[in-house]
Amino acid sequence: MADKNNSKGFKKILFPTDFTDASVAAASYAMMLARQNKAKLYVLHVMDVSKEAAGFYLPHLSFERLDKEMRGVAGEMLKNFCAKQFKGFRNVEMHVLAGEPFKEILKVVKGSKIDLVVMGTFGKARVDRLLFGSTTERVVRRAECPVLVIPPSK
Instruction: Kindly state the percentage of the chain with pLDDT values over 90.
Output: 61
What confidence score (pLDDT) does residue 61 get?
61
pTM: 0.83
Q: Is residue 3 part of a domain?
A: no
Q: Is the pLDDT of residue 110 over 70?
A: yes
| Three-state secondary structure of the chain | CCCHHHCCCCCEEEEECCCCHHHHHHHHHHHHHHHHHCCEEEEEEEEECCHHHHCCCCCCCCHHHHHHHHHHHHHHHHHHHHHHHCCCCCCEEEEEEEECHHHHHHHHHHHCCCCEEEEECCCCCHHHHHHHCCHHHHHHHHCCCCEEEECCCC
96 found inside a domain: yes
59 in a structural domain: yes
* CATH number, domain containing residue 82: 3.40.50.620
pLDDT in tens, 57-99: 455 566 677 778 888 999 999 999 999 999 999 999 999 999 9
Q: What is the pLDDT of residue 91?
A: 96
Ranked by mean pLDDT, the top range of 19-23, 38-42, 122-126, 136-140 is 38-42
Overall number of domains in the chain: 1
Residue 19 lies in a domain: yes
